[in-house]
Amino acid sequence: MPAWLKDAVFYEIYPQSFYDTNNDGIGDLQGITDKLDYVKSLGCNAIWLNPCFDSPFKDAGYDVRDYKKVAPRYGSNDDLVKLFEKAHELGIRVILDLVPGHTSEEHEWFKKSCEIERNEYSDRYVWTNGAFCGIGGHPYIGGEAERDGCYMLNFFKCQPALNYGFGKCTEPWQKSPDAPACIATREALKDIMRFWLDKGCDGFRVDMADSLVKEDDENKSLTGKIWMDIKEMMDKDYPEAALVAEWCDPGQALNYGFHADFYLDHWGNGYNTLIRDYETEGGDHSFIKKDGHGDIMRFLDDYLPRYERTKDKGYISFITCNHDTPRPARTLSNKELKLAYAMILTLPGVPFIYYGDEIGMRYLNVKTKEGGYHRTGSRTPMQWDNSDGRGFSCASKDKFYLPVDDASDAPTVESQEKDPSSLLNEVRRLTALKHEYADLNADASFEVIYAEKENFPFVYRRGNLIIAVNPSGNTCSADIGILPLGAAPIYSIGESSFADGKITTAPQSFAVYKKA
């Protein structure tokens, strides 16, 4: 386990929307390098960089054309290496987005695999043995290659699926995961990882990590075997490199070699009930909503079994948001955002802050861009200042990758830097608290002290810290027993007090007490 993960707070950067230095309206690697001091000021000591590889950008870079080449619109390989170097000087780690399941249809591997004559790439992708032979249960394309066959897709038409094998081969064109062609795909993935790790990358967030082996992969064990093989290589040659899964099943992902796995927003799961429970009838019942009448037990009933199953194996990663998820400011007030981030940054695991969430950037209703569709509204340019272009770029606004928030009250770094009570400065105080106390490390102990169905507050322990959150509009108390706590909290949002074994919390408050 890389030691640095224990105290890591990640900042996810969508490169095309962060900061443009060459005035083409698209963010670039130099822009990220120029803003590293800002990232450090947030208390973020690690960055997850969304795909920056060469791509036709039909899926915003998740359709990779060349894994070993930075997309020219972002700069060059040298620019990425300089970013690594500058980040390391500031004590910031950088992980890249790894897309192992598919490539762009424009990748040279795929072009070769389309050829009639067999070659080393003929089985790099999942192909049937006839142009009129479809793939039951999977999206596929036929009739677009000289080769007599159809090929499987992972997502869009532009993303042919790489071949890691099938759990059970029922067709002559299917291969087992230990077939030479499937092993070659795995080795090609290792080669890509070594290429960037040797240049200074600190690890990878792995896109769709659970989707490699197709069909009959019980408990994802065959896909897991592939990752265990890759992990063996990393442990031997790159022991401080991190591997973070987009799996959303830490019980599987952490068993199969990943150091952390995301707790993503899936309908009805624990994370969803905390801040995103607005897709059911009857309004928003998210726990963190002031008038949501939320129930912390809905979170704990889902989260605690995950935590208990994995606490000795790796980390569960909470997110404020990501590039696929509506921004939390879409439904949460500024005060509610503070409480949400306070929980995310004090629960166990390795937290991720999505760029702009620290200032409460809004989800915008904008036209789809590069396959974003409903996700596009969370990918708009970072709002640095109060200028017309929000400090993102000096290009004319019609050239911007996406429109900026033009509202007169659009949140910006410039405005919030000047306001001690701003969301930005609250995030900084929270990350400072997290770094100050080892009790808030990713692996520090966790225990529920007080949690009652449809009641407040929620009280939990991290090491020698007792943490209470009351998102409701009422003053609430919890009898936590005679613990030797200090009379005043070491950190608070709103008012709280402790006396005679009882914590009393004001409406919409958060407090951290330290055991004497």
Question: Quick one: three-class SS letters along 135-157?
Answer: CCCCCEEECCCCCCCEEEECCCC
The pLDDT of 182-211, averaged and rounded, is 98
* Percent of the chain surpassing pLDDT 90: 96
pLDDT at 143 (0 to 100): 95
* pLDDT at res. 366: 97
- Assess contact for 265 and 302: CB atoms under 8 A: no
Over the stretch 474-509, which tens digit does the pLDDT of each residue have?
Answer: 999 999 886 777 778 999 999 999 988 899 999 999
What six digits make up the tokens of 232?
């063996």
pLDDT tens-digit series, residues 361-373 = 999 999 999 999 9
Which one, of 130, 129, 122, 36, lies nearest residue 84 by Cα? Answer: 36
Report pTM.
Answer: 0.97
511 sits in which H/E element: strand 509-514
SS3 assignment, position 211: coil
Q: Which helix (H) or strand (E) holds 53?
A: strand 53-54
Tell me the pLDDT tens digit for each residue of 304-333. 999 999 999 999 999 999 999 999 999 999
| Ramachandran class of 298: left when φ > 0, alpha when ψ lies in -120 to 50, beta otherwise | alpha
Instruction: Check: CB of residue 288 under 8 Å from CB of residue 343.
Output: yes
Strands 242-245 and 260-262: parallel
SS3 of 399, please?
helix
Pairing state of beta strands 10-13 and 352-354? parallel
- Inform me whether the pLDDT recorded for 2 exceeds 80: yes
pLDDT at residue 351, rounded to an integer = 98
Q: Give the mean pLDDT of 424-429.
A: 98
pLDDT digits (tens, 9 = 90+) for 431-465: 999 999 999 999 999 999 999 999 999 999 999 99
User: Cα–Cα distance between 378 and 329 in angstroms, integer?
Assistant: 10
Q: What is the pLDDT of residues 68-113, one digit of tens each?
A: 999 999 999 999 999 999 999 999 999 999 999 999 999 999 999 9
Identify whether the C-beta of residue 306 lies closer than 8 Å to the C-beta of residue 251.
yes
Q: Which domains does the chain have, with CATH numbers?
A: 3-101+182-436 (3.20.20.80), 102-163 (3.90.400.10), 445-514 (2.60.40.1180)
Per-residue pLDDT, 447: 97
356 in Cβ contact with 391 (< 8 Å)? no
Q: How many residues does the chain have?
A: 516
Answer yes or no: is pLDDT of 516 > 90.
Answer: no
Which pLDDT score, from 0 to 100, does residue 482 have? 67
**d(C-alpha 86, C-alpha 295), whole Å:** 44
The residue behind tokens 């990748």 is: 107
- Residue 192, pLDDT score: 98
Asked if 274 and 343 count as a contact pair (C-beta separation under 8 A), the reply is yes
Cα separation, 48 vs 281, in Å, equals 35
How wide is the angle at C-alpha 309 spanned by C-alphas 305 and 315, nearest 5°? 105
Check the CA dihedral 321-323-324-325 and report its sign: positive
Alpha helices (runs of H) in 244-289, residue ranges in sequence order: 250-253, 270-275
Q: Which two tokens stand for residue 170?
A: 């029922």
pLDDT score recorded for residue 388: 95
**Other residues' Cβ atoms within 10 Å of the Cβ of residue 9:** 21
Pick from 198, 203, 9: nearest CA to 91:
9
DSSP summary character for residue 381: P
Mean pLDDT of the chain: 96
